[in-house]
Homo-oligomer: A and B are copies of this chain.
Amino acid sequence: MMAPPASELGVRLRVLVEDAASAAAQVVTDAPVGAASDDDAIRDLIAPRDGGAPASVLTFEHEHVPNALLADLIEHGTPVRPGPHALVAAQDKIVMRTRLGALGVPCPRWRALPPSVEEGTVALEEFLADVGGQAVVKLARGGYDGKGVRVVSGAGEADDWLVGAGQGGPLVLAEEKVPFRRELAVLVARRPSGEVRTWPVVESIQRDGVCAEVIAPAPGLSGDVGARAREIAVAVAEGLDVTGVLAVELFEVPADPADPAGPTTVLVNELAMRPHNSGHWTIDGSATSQFEQHLRAVLDLPLGSTAAVAPWTVMVNVLGSARPDLAGALPEVLERYDTARVNLYGKDIRPGRKLGHVNVSGTDLDEVRAAARGAAALLMGKDVEHVELA
């Protein structure tokens, strides 16, 4: 999704792909195959071609990258954005929580568990008692889309992970299971010279730990809470020295636990230092998409307007499909929803896989949401009447 704005700005992309049939390789002409963990593949990626200059900048679409190599590349003159000193807070949830705490950013209560079954279990028992009997246990590294996350109500339920942590696997942390009213996300872009821009705060609706739908802006959000969310995002971007796009996922919670229907505030749930699913709405719903803004930011170009192009934009993910192919749904999708902006990723169909998304913008939220859900449902091979009424 970075290819169109790169082309428009005259930026030549070179992308390291996991295999030659990957989505990125279908739309980027210079797409060598290699693993993001392979130092040589990354060195080749940024090397000069045909006697030209080396890459102007190295950036990422996920956080699973070798930080030692990145530090070395920077030392030898290749800008790496975001830099490894920032990336580590997106790679390791214990580092993230520690750094956010140091910045004074509000987070759920949390605790790093000692890396042994015995000590870890004791710590988890204490933590469960502190937070009321239920906690979210997470692997510090490697989780995504609901993987590496588990809700527990007994200290024994994390034993397998604690054994791993004691044997060199990722460390484990426990977090308070926050009684959130809903999930929000705020996207911010920051360039090395310091300019920062945020987009409107959105509501993010998860199903089975995976983002299913995003509503921009978050309906009924109080101005204070929206401002606070953006302020937090800017503080995180600046405090961690993030360059490029940063997505901050938030819980909206009652400001006073004793008044669950009263005013709200926000706690930081997760960080992603890259264009993020919660920002796909910007492709069609914002003057500047998160992908264009990321390119501008990592190239230290002035950032673009983040104004919304319509009162509402709703993004619905296409998560798996009962259809043999998605293209076959296009005639009905486009016929029924002429404002639907369909974006298919060129991936093979697998259950629950993010295969694409639909954006719809407009002035009536109910209509916009029904159209986005209906179009995505057709692409997923679902009964659209049922979905629209849901």
Contacts and interface: CB of A to CB of B under 8 A. Distances in A.
A227 interface: no
A8 B326 contact: no
Contacts of A304: 334, 338-339
A316 to B, nearest CB: 15
Q: Say how many copies of this protein the assembly contains.
A: 2
A334 B29 contact: no
Interface in A313-348: 326-327, 330-331, 334-335, 338-339, 341-344, 346
B27 A7 contact: yes
Nearest to A8: B343
Nearest to A357: B8
Contacts of A28: 29
Nearest to A343: B8
A152 B208 CA distance: 74
Nearest to A6: B27
A181 interface: no
Contacts of A302: 331, 334-335, 338
A8 B338 contact: no
A352 B3 CA distance: 27
A326 B343 CA distance: 30
B9 A296 contact: no
A10 B326 contact: yes
A287 interface: yes
Contact of A29 (B12, B26, B341, B344): B26
A206 interface: no
Contacts of A35: none
A372 to B, nearest CB: 14
A330 B346 contact: no
Nearest to A304: B338
A222 interface: no
A25 interface: yes
A4 interface: yes
B10 A344 contact: yes
A309 interface: yes
A301 interface: yes
Given A26-B12, A331-B301, A331-B302, A287 B4 contact: no
B26 A27 contact: no
Contacts of A327: 9-11
Contacts of A326: 10
A45 to B, nearest CB: 17
A98 interface: no
A301 B330 contact: yes
A9 B331 contact: no
A28 B7 CA distance: 11
B338 A305 contact: yes
Contacts of A26: 7, 12, 29
Given A3-B27, A4-B4, A309-B309, A9 B301 contact: no
Contacts of A335: 302
Contacts of A25: 29
A4 B7 CA distance: 9
6 contacts: A9-B327, A10-B326, A28-B29, A301-B334, A302-B334, A305-B338
Interface of A: 3-4, 7-12, 25-29, 31, 287, 296, 301-305, 309-310, 326-327, 330-331, 334-335, 338-339, 341-344, 346, 356
Given A9-B344, A10-B326, 14 more contacts: A3-B3, A8-B341, A10-B330, A10-B344, A10-B346, A25-B29, A26-B29, A27-B29, A29-B29, A301-B331, A302-B334, A303-B338, A304-B334, A304-B339
